[in-house]
Each structure stands twice: as C-alpha cells, then as structure tokens.
Amino acid sequence: MTDLPHCPPQPNPANIRRVAVLTSGGDAPGMNAAIRAVVRTATSQGIEVIGVRRGFSGLHRGDFVTLGPRDVANTIQRGGTILLSARSHTWRTPEGRARGARHLHAHDVDALIVIGGDGSFHGAHYLQEEHNIPVIGLPGTIDNDLYGTDHTIGYFTAVETALDAVDKLRDTGASHERIFVIEVMGRHAGHIALDVAVAGGAEEVFIPEDAKDMDSVLETVRSSVKRGKLGSIIIVAEGYPGGAQGVAAAIEQGTGMETRVSILGHIQRGGTPVSSDRVLASRLGEAAVYALMEGRKGVMVGRQNHETSFTPLPETWEQRKDVSRDLYRCARTLSI
C-alpha cells in the first residue's frame, strides 16, 4: 500500500521557519488537538515547532521543548494540555514580556501561536506591540465568550460534561421531589448555562447577561409543582450575582420548598474532548499556521458561519458576544 500524499507546500511569503506554541489560562478539552494540528501542519510545510511549557510563565523562563509529529501522537483524545498552563504575574509587566521576547529571539522563533482566552490574548497582543513578534490566537476556553468565533475550543465538551451531571441530578431530584439548583461555569457569560438548560429540560436558567425578577421565578417554581412535576432543575451560571447558593436561598425563603445545591466547578474543564471540539481545534490549528505563512499577525483564528475568520485580538475582548436570544426564549417556552 502506498503512503497517502502529504499536504503540498503552501506559499510562505512571510518566510516563517520556526514557530512557538503555548497554552495559557484555564485548560480546555481540545487544546491538545490544537497543539497537534499546529505541529503537524507546520512540519508538513518544513517549519519547526517549539513548545512553550507552562504558558507565559514558561515563556518568561525559557521553558522550551522541540515538538515533532511523533511528540503529539496519541494526544488528540486527551483532555488538559500536554504543554501545561500557569498564571503569570511577571508577564503583566513590560520587563517580563521583554525577557520572554529575548528567549524567543535566542531560539530564532519567527512567530508565536497562543491557545487561550481573553487574558491570554492580552498577553499575546502586548508582546507583538512591544517587540514586533507576530502572534496568532486560537480561542481555547470553555466559556465560549470570545467575540469573533461561533464556538471556542472546549465549549462543546464542557456542555456535555455539565449535561451528564444534570441528567443524573434530575433522577434523584424527581425521586425525592426536590428542587436542584445547579451551578455551571461562566464567570461573565451564560453560554454553557443556556445550552445545558435547554438540553437538560430545566425549569429556569440564570445567566450574567440578564437580571431575573425573582417573583416571577418563584411563581414558575410554584406552577411547576401544581402541574405535577416531581422535581425541578434550575441552572445558574457562576457569574450570576449570588450564584447557585443565592438563588437557592431565595427560592426556599419565597416558597418554603426544599432545595439542594450542586456546584459542578472544575469537573467541566476536564475529560476527553468530544468530536466537535477535536474537529474545531484541528481546523483552527491548521489555519493558524497557514495564516502566519501568509503574513497575518495580531489576529484570532475562529470559525463563523462555517468559514474560517480572522479577528484582531483587541476586538475579541472589546466586542461583546451575546448569548442566543432565540435559545433563551426557547428555554422559557419549553419549561412549562
């Protein structure tokens, strides 16, 4: 059997010969698939790849490792990040970024690919502005809160993980005729909460984008009991004021009904990435390498309306990405 042909060489007007890649901020399922795509796409184009361990903290210290196709074998199905991640206070200073830039120059790195969220993109943007090192961002965050892409790497898996927990809690809630108030991740965005609420058949959903009239919520809970529901599921994004504990206390005080609170927390960050996250990460990792070869820099590679898109890094955090209002309406309609 003959080998399948490799990807043909692509134009490289930017003359990219060596790129570095790092993961920063909170880990997200699918980050390894993105790293793998960057390494294998770059290798297919004759470009060397340097992995930076422990995010910007590792870049500040020069914690580098050479990555080839075999180094990323058997990683596409793994959660977390093989390059590790860490917070870096030193990177917030011009001196810290200057030291990282010196490490990149010392290793003859032509460009940097950063996989992370808005905080990571801030760090990448300032590195490029101050030291003229081309950077490309890949949206790696379970919150799905970055403007310029329909979905972020890790989001699909986080929703599935939370939904699995909600399904199990509904069973016990119905058995004991209790109200379960379940907190999912989303410090500033309600995307996870809204998807989980619709897919999990929740009676109410609380998201940071909207303040709730608690009286109407209490009436919804009372009405659901009158209609014969044995238990109720209420989804709360962690960024909603008071969180799940506050919502549960208000329900108990307003209705006298017994509630139970379940905070899913960091379990949503882990686990094997679902197929949608693997495919998204693979496509974005490939596109990031080609974008650098074309001379693009200072942008996030995303997917919008089934097409690859490029958004200037500052826009990804300056522009607001709202939840789907149609889906929000759907959640209320279907909760009767």
The residue-averaged pLDDT of 137-160 equals 97
Give the whole-angstrom CA distance, residue 6 versus residue 52. 26
Residues placed in the known binding site for Mg(2+): 118
- What strands, in cross-sheet order, belong to the sheet with 179-184? 204-206, 232-237, 179-184, 259-263
- The mean-pLDDT minimum among 5-14, 115-124, 133-142, 270-279 falls in 5-14
Whether 137 and 24 map to the same domain: the answer is yes
Strand partners, 307: 304
CATH of the domain at 124: 3.40.50.450
Residue 167 lies in a domain: yes
Q: Token pair for residue 261?
A: 């609170």
Whether 39 and 125 map to the same domain: the answer is yes
Residue 134 lies in a domain: yes
Sign of the C-alpha dihedral computed for residues 176, 327, 188 and 78 taken in this order: positive
Cα–Cα distances in Å, from 314 out to 119, 133, 299, 308? 11, 16, 8, 18
Residue 237 belongs to domain spanning: 155-270
User: How does DSSP assign 7-38, residue by residue?
Assistant: PPP---TT---EEEEEE-SS--TTHHHHHHHH
Going by pLDDT thresholds of 50, 70 and 90, the confidence category of residue 232 is confident
User: Would you state the pLDDT for residue 2?
Assistant: 41
Give the whole-angstrom CA distance, residue 263 versus residue 222. 23
Residues placed in the known binding site for substrate: 141-143, 178, 185-187, 238, 260, 266-269
Closest CA to 61 of 104, 120, 116: 104
Going by pLDDT thresholds of 50, 70 and 90, the confidence category of residue 229 is low
Residue 328 lies in a domain: no
Whether 162 and 303 map to the same domain: the answer is no
110 is catalytic: no
Number of domains, the chain = 2
Whether 247 and 286 map to the same domain: the answer is no
In angstroms, what is the C-alpha Rg of the chain? 22
User: Would you state the pLDDT for residue 187?
Assistant: 86
Whether 251 and 102 map to the same domain: the answer is no
Inter-axis angle of helices 191-199 and 155-176, nearest 10: 50
Segment (H or E) for 154 = none
Whether 218 and 259 map to the same domain: the answer is yes
Inter-axis angle of helices 275-294 and 31-44, nearest 10: 40
Residue 77 lies in a domain: yes
Q: Token pair for residue 165?
A: 């927990």
Whether 239 and 194 map to the same domain: the answer is yes
Whether 195 and 214 map to the same domain: the answer is yes
The residue-averaged pLDDT of 213-238 equals 80
Residue 288 lies in a domain: yes
Residue 6 lies in a domain: no
In sequence order, which residues have a C-beta less than 8 Å from that of residue 275 and are 6 or more positions away?
A: none
pLDDT tens sequence across 279-307: 999 999 999 999 999 999 999 999 999 99
Whether 104 and 172 map to the same domain: the answer is no
Segment (H or E) for 179 = strand 179-184
By percentage, how much of the chain surpasses pLDDT 70? Answer: 96
Whether 31 and 82 map to the same domain: the answer is yes
The residue-averaged pLDDT of 213-241 equals 81
The helix/strand/coil state of 45 is coil
Residue 102 lies in a domain: yes
**Is-contact 312 299, C-beta < 8 A?**
yes
Residue 34 lies in a domain: yes
CATH of the domain at 184: 3.40.50.460
Whether 286 and 265 map to the same domain: the answer is no
Whether 88 and 190 map to the same domain: the answer is no
Residues placed in the known binding site: 26, 36-40, 87-88, 117-120, 141-143, 170, 178, 185-187, 201-203, 227, 229-231, 238, 260, 266-269
CB under 8 Å, gap of 24 or more: what pairs does 257-261 form?
A: 257/179, 257/221, 257/225, 258/178, 258/179, 259/178, 259/179, 259/180, 259/181, 260/173, 260/178, 260/179, 260/180, 260/181, 261/180, 261/181, 261/182, 261/183
From 27, 63, 143, 145, the catalytic residue: 143
- The mean-pLDDT minimum among 50-59, 168-177, 221-230, 239-248 falls in 221-230
Name the one residue in this structure whose structure tokens are 């890790």. 154
- The mean-pLDDT minimum among 63-67, 141-145, 177-181, 282-286 falls in 177-181
